[in-house]
Amino acid sequence: MRDVTSSRTPTRNRGSRRAEILDAAATLFAARGFHGVSIEDIGGAVGVSGPALYRHFSGKDALLAEMLLNVSQRLRASAAEVVTGAGSAEQMLDTLIAGQIAFALSEPALITVHDRELGNVPEPERRAIRRLQRLYAEEWVTVLAELYPRCPAADLRAAAHAVFGLLNSTPHSAGDLPRETMAPLLHRMARAALSAIVGERGVGERGDTERGVGERGR
């Protein structure tokens, strides 16, 4: 359904405009949020003005939907490939981590939009995206379950999401470190965080039940 690059590609410069628009829109959405960006803004960012977008997308919603669908498909496919392939669970986990880092570092805007704007995707494709996201997370859980068989799946899921948060934080603290330093640092941190899933007593076990920070405004 919904033919991408309808039937034959438009003679000369194939879907380049389409990709250009998606790219510019991702950057803008990441910076100002879906509703903070106008069709005019997106058009302007690629050198055309306003309603030219409707030659490529059926609307702003559809643009966002395609963008997120694309991202979640890429992530999911790459994770599935890793987990289906050969190697120990340890190796798989390292490859999953490396893949997520590479993605977060090379496409920070997409990562940002991907976990912020799902709520603005219209319903048919919203479900599809959510499903792909869930499948992606489950690939991680599968590998983690092999490494920590005693651990409840819910804990593994929560831990996986926490690591996503860790790895996807790069867009926010961007630019401070060169990629060659940042990537191994994140990898080590993610690896260590996951090693801590199992509940050894005595690390920092106290204090988590304390009240909220600075209970003033109540």
Partner DNA sequence: CGAATCAGTTAATGATGACTAACATCACGA
Partner DNA sequence: TCGTGATGTTAGTCATCATTAACTGATTCG
CB of 192 to DNA, least distance (A): 43
Give, to the nearest 10 degrees, the angle between helix 153-168 and helix 89-106.
40
Residue 155 interacting with a copy of itself (CB under 8 A):
yes
Residue type, 74: R
Residue 12 interacting with DNA (CB under 7 A):
yes
55 binds, among DNA, a copy of itself, none (CB under 5 to 8 A by kind): DNA
Residue 86 interacting with a copy of itself (CB under 8 A):
no
Total residues contacting DNA (rule CB under 7 A)? Answer: 23
CB of 118 to DNA, least distance (A): 18
Total residues contacting a copy of itself (rule CB under 8 A)? Answer: 85
- The residue from 8, 12, 150, 172 that contacts a copy of itself (CB under 8 A) is 172
CB of 14 to a copy of itself, least distance (A): 12
Q: Which is nearer to DNA, 52 or 98 (CB)?
A: 52
31 binds, among DNA, a copy of itself, none (CB under 5 to 8 A by kind): a copy of itself
Q: Which is nearer to a copy of itself, 55 or 134 (CB)?
A: 134
CB 25 within 8 A of CB 57: no
**DSSP string over the chain:** ---SS-SS--SSSTTHHHHHHHHHHHHHHHHH-GGGS-HHHHHHHTTS-GGGGGGT-S-HHHHHHHHHHHHHHHHHHHHHHHHHSSS-HHHHHHHHHHHHHHHHHH-HHHHHHHTT-GGGS-HHHHHHHHHHHHHHHHHHHHHHHHH-TTS-HHHHHHHHHHHHHHHHTTTTTTTSS-HHHHHHHHHHHHHHHHHT-S--TTSS-SSTTSPPTT----
Residues 142-171 contacting DNA, CB under 7 A: none
CB of 61 to a copy of itself, least distance (A): 13
- Alpha-carbon gap, residue 185 to 188, rounded angstroms: 5
Residues 21-60 contacting DNA, CB under 7 A: 35, 37-40, 43, 48-52, 54-56, 59-60
CB 48 within 8 A of CB 59: no
Binding characters for a copy of itself, 92-131, by CB under 8 A (x = yes): -xxx-xxxxxxx--xx-------xxx-xx-----------
CB 145 within 8 A of CB 156: yes
- The residue from 1, 3, 4, 6 that contacts DNA (CB under 7 A) is 6
The binding site for DNA (CB under 7 A) comprises 6, 10-13, 17, 35, 37-40, 43, 48-52, 54-56, 59-61
